[in-house]
Amino acid sequence: MALDSSKTTGFKYVGTRPDRPDGLDKVTGRAKFGADAYAPGMLHAAIKRSPHAHARIVKIDTSKAEAMEGVKAVVTRADFATGIEGEFGNILENVMAGEKALYDGHAVAAVAATSALIARDAVKAIEVEYEILPHVTDVDAAMQAGAPVIREGAADSSVPEGLHPNIVRYYESGHGDVEAGFAEADLVIEDHFLTEATHQGYIEPHACLGTLGTDGKGELWCCTQGHWYVQKVCAALLDVETSQLRVTASEIGGGFGGKTTVFIEPVALALSRKANRPVKLVMTRAEVFKASGPTSSTSMDVRIGMKKDGTITAAQGTFRLQGGAFPGAPCEMTAMCAFAPYDLKHVHQVGYDVMTNRPKQAAYRAPGSPMAAFAVESVIDELCNKLGLDPIDTRLKNASREGTRASFGPKWPRIGLVETLEAAKAHPHYSAPLKPGQGRGISCGFWFNHGGETAVSLALSEDGSAQVAVGTPDIGGSRASMALMAAEVLGIPYEDIRVTIADTATLGYNEISHGSRVTYASGLATIKAAEDAVQKLCARAAAKWGIPEDAVYWEDGYAKPSGPNAGEFEPLHIGDITATMGATGGPICGHFEATPEGAGVSFATHIVDAEVDPETGKTSVVRYTVVQDAGKAVHPTYVEGQFQGGAAQGIGWALNEEYIYGEDGRLQNAGFLDYRIPVASDLPMIDTVIVEVPNPGHPFGVRGVGETSICPPLAAIANAVSAAAGVRMRQLPMRPSRILEALESAVDG
């Protein structure tokens, strides 16, 4: 029988809110995170890092460190593979510097010793001779003629001739004639916007325990969003066969994109190979700030024309993204997301990926999109204010919808932007009165979402319960979602299903948990694997009854004859079939391996009320509502948590968080005391509205939800703060000193 569980209504388990399967482990301390692994004979590692923003490494003398009692191995770049180019070459250069230190905190050597204290002392005993070079940390400065060149020859073929070598990628797209469009407008506004780099702020630092023998066989335990990717990178950097390195992902204390790449794992493995002992390496918080990947900082120009009736006639944006000392800043994503919410006849967007002497940027929830929304949605807010238009009605008038052409080229399939705007307009928040000193801001936001390589295996036990092995680390509650989707297909209770994150030796390749892909892609694979198992269950029932397999169907955990012609048989419960499976053909398992390509895009609309204290410049977010299209919320509590989490991180990004560099190019605030993430007392209750416009690319209609929620906050908060302060804020973060400066400028002006 052909099975297809596709449906968007009539669910029994999907859409319910059961307890999370990892909850007890986490609240009792039983869950094992990256730093919780131990091995007999284990050594502890520490990394020597550059104190300079840009310097040629003249000489590294490790002799004093190697002579210290308890030191078992010291590695430098010479201990890694050679001849690696492209993406992995850049990762190697970031993991361990070669000829130059490219940023404050860049690794130059590492030590493994019998204790963490000895390792740290030995790091101090390593002597590095540097030739200090000019540095640049600002994106606009790095693009100017005469700016220090970070790395020659790093630009790809997209960059037009004549641009500075620090510009390493260029993107341009659009359609129509923007100048003709601007000529049709009653009002054109062009503004310049700046955002600073922010860190994902995950609570758990990067940590790993690695063992690599001289036979090329290894084991690695690490905190990551994608252990198959870690396996692939480490194998390349250490020149070992990929399959000989087994990687297991720990529980993860937050990632948000920052754990989609590799920083320390190859170092632990190189030290282990040299010492012939397991090596544990845990980053300090200062190292996380200095040497993992924050977001890009940006410099942006946006110009939008509008008619008096609210019709947008043309839009143009230039987005310059600072990506640290390596290519990869998501300039094209910023440009593509910028005007995605709007149906535009004339649009043009340009993106620049710019290198500086900072750590390599890494993904952070919808990489590049939040900054674009900040600039674009701020200008739309200004236009609405000056033309006396309602901000939601204006967005509805111009909204992208099914069949309209996206700003980056294709026509939209079924999307849910209009539904989020209508839900926002109908929400009591939008019409609630404001108090004196308060302002209200609106913003839309967009993210693509992703599918990617995925493999899932489902095994039934004799008692009729099920084990599901997935390969995507659970960064947002996916074990609960997988269990709910498997329960829906198998027709057994959620509690009878255990979902495990398998290691790299257990399943086929699984792409990283990124791009809001897990509930979509691993969920789709779980549904298909469960259908595969159900098909086999039906076959066993058919064999028992002596009827054709296609005369059996599956309902609520039972195999049933499909009608009177199939014969009259008592339905067989899943447990009745699995109890005898060893004697009726062997174990019953379901599998699915594919690269699902039907990830549906997602839109959101946020409403924010902010209050500004004109004496201190302090901003308080007093009310916040997130409205977002989830396609289908498999576990609504987790979906609401993703909505709230994106808003909370956006509040930090908008109001307080920033990387601060000194004149010497060194990071000034590498710790949570000086880098101010929001705490519970900074946040209001964040209300949520789940809109469900089913994604036709998923059997249950799921769209990714983890990233879109951070797209609107920067703009929505800026629009609220600008309204409250009475002055337009075009630079983030809107910290108190910046608010006061803006207020003083407005008075002086």
Partner 1 sequence: MVDVALWSGLRPLVEGRDSVEVEGRTVGEILNALRRDYPALGPTLDAGVSVVVDGRVIASSLTEPVSPDSEVVLMMRLKGG
Enumerate binding residues for partner 1 (CB under 8 A).
156-158, 170-175, 200, 256-258, 260, 330, 332-333, 336, 348, 362-367, 408-413, 447-453, 514-517, 595, 597-599, 601, 697, 707
Q: Which is nearer to partner 1, 331 or 460 (CB)?
A: 331
Q: Which is nearer to partner 1, 205 or 452 (CB)?
A: 452
The distance of closest approach from Cβ of residue 220 to partner 1 in the complex, given in angstroms and rounded to an integer, is: 23
Cα–Cα nearest to 718, from 530, 536, 445:
445
Q: Which is nearer to partner 1, 294 or 678 (CB)?
A: 294
Q: Which is nearer to partner 1, 449 or 526 (CB)?
A: 449
DSSP-derived secondary structure for 71-118? EEEEE-GGGS-SS--HHHHHHHHHHS-SSEE-STT-EEEEEEESSHHH
The distance of closest approach from Cβ of residue 151 to partner 1 in the complex, given in angstroms and rounded to an integer, is: 17
Residues in the chain: 749
DSSP strands (E only) in 363-479: 438-447, 454-460, 466-470
The distance of closest approach from Cβ of residue 338 to partner 1 in the complex, given in angstroms and rounded to an integer, is: 14
Cα–Cα nearest to 298, from 315, 326, 323:
323
Q: Which is nearer to partner 1, 373 or 601 (CB)?
A: 601
The distance of closest approach from Cβ of residue 349 to partner 1 in the complex, given in angstroms and rounded to an integer, is: 9
Give dist(CA 84, CA 237) in Å, integer: 8
Give dist(CA 647, CA 689) in Å, integer: 13
Q: Which is nearer to partner 1, 447 or 545 (CB)?
A: 447
The distance of closest approach from Cβ of residue 169 to partner 1 in the complex, given in angstroms and rounded to an integer, is: 9
The distance of closest approach from Cβ of residue 292 to partner 1 in the complex, given in angstroms and rounded to an integer, is: 13
Q: Which is nearer to partner 1, 105 or 600 (CB)?
A: 600
Give dist(CA 468, CA 15) in Å, integer: 19
Give dist(CA 680, CA 686) in Å, integer: 11
Cα–Cα nearest to 355, from 388, 337, 331, 339:
331
The distance of closest approach from Cβ of residue 595 to partner 1 in the complex, given in angstroms and rounded to an integer, is: 5
Q: Which is nearer to partner 1, 271 or 363 (CB)?
A: 363
Is 145:136 a contact under the CB 8 Å cutoff? no
Q: Which is nearer to partner 1, 292 or 394 (CB)?
A: 292
The distance of closest approach from Cβ of residue 707 to partner 1 in the complex, given in angstroms and rounded to an integer, is: 6
The distance of closest approach from Cβ of residue 361 to partner 1 in the complex, given in angstroms and rounded to an integer, is: 11
Q: Which is nearer to partner 1, 288 or 366 (CB)?
A: 366
The distance of closest approach from Cβ of residue 85 to partner 1 in the complex, given in angstroms and rounded to an integer, is: 13
For the beta carbon of residue 675, count every other beta carbon within 10 angstroms: 22
Give dist(CA 665, CA 659) in Å, integer: 11
The distance of closest approach from Cβ of residue 260 to partner 1 in the complex, given in angstroms and rounded to an integer, is: 7
The distance of closest approach from Cβ of residue 413 to partner 1 in the complex, given in angstroms and rounded to an integer, is: 4
The C-alpha angle with vertex 638 and arms to 35 and 619, in degrees rounded to 5, equals 85
The distance of closest approach from Cβ of residue 153 to partner 1 in the complex, given in angstroms and rounded to an integer, is: 14
Q: Which is nearer to partner 1, 13 or 364 (CB)?
A: 364
The distance of closest approach from Cβ of residue 364 to partner 1 in the complex, given in angstroms and rounded to an integer, is: 5
The residue to which tokens 């605030």 are assigned: 669
Q: Which is nearer to partner 1, 423 or 710 (CB)?
A: 710
DSSP-derived secondary structure for 454-512? EEEEEEE-TTS-EEEEE-S--SSSHHHHHHHHHHHHHTS-GGGEEEEE--TTTSS----
Q: Which is nearer to partner 1, 263 or 408 (CB)?
A: 408
Give dist(CA 162, CA 458) in Å, integer: 56
Q: Which is nearer to partner 1, 62 or 513 (CB)?
A: 513
Give dist(CA 457, CA 455) in Å, integer: 7
The residue to which tokens 């609210």 are assigned: 310
The distance of closest approach from Cβ of residue 411 to partner 1 in the complex, given in angstroms and rounded to an integer, is: 6
DSSP-derived secondary structure for 85-97? -HHHHHHHHHHS-
Token reading at 326: 């390596």
3-state SS class at 641: helix
The C-alpha angle with vertex 329 and arms to 420 and 97, in degrees rounded to 5, equals 145
Terminal C-alpha separation, the chain: 76
Q: Which is nearer to partner 1, 45 or 599 (CB)?
A: 599
Give dist(CA 497, CA 158) in Å, integer: 49
Q: Are strands 619-629 and 686-691 parallel, antiparallel or unpaired?
A: parallel
DSSP strands (E only) in 296-389: 297-306, 312-322, 347-354
Q: Which is nearer to partner 1, 6 or 115 (CB)?
A: 6
Segment (H or E) for 65: helix 63-66
The distance of closest approach from Cβ of residue 158 to partner 1 in the complex, given in angstroms and rounded to an integer, is: 6
Q: Are strands 466-470 and 497-501 parallel, antiparallel or unpaired?
A: parallel
The distance of closest approach from Cβ of residue 475 to partner 1 in the complex, given in angstroms and rounded to an integer, is: 10
The residue to which tokens 């949570």 are assigned: 672
Give dist(CA 488, CA 555) in Å, integer: 10
Give dist(CA 308, CA 523) in Å, integer: 46
Backbone CA torsion sign across 92, 95, 96, 100: positive
Q: Which is nearer to partner 1, 173 or 669 (CB)?
A: 173
Give dist(CA 20, CA 711) in Å, integer: 27
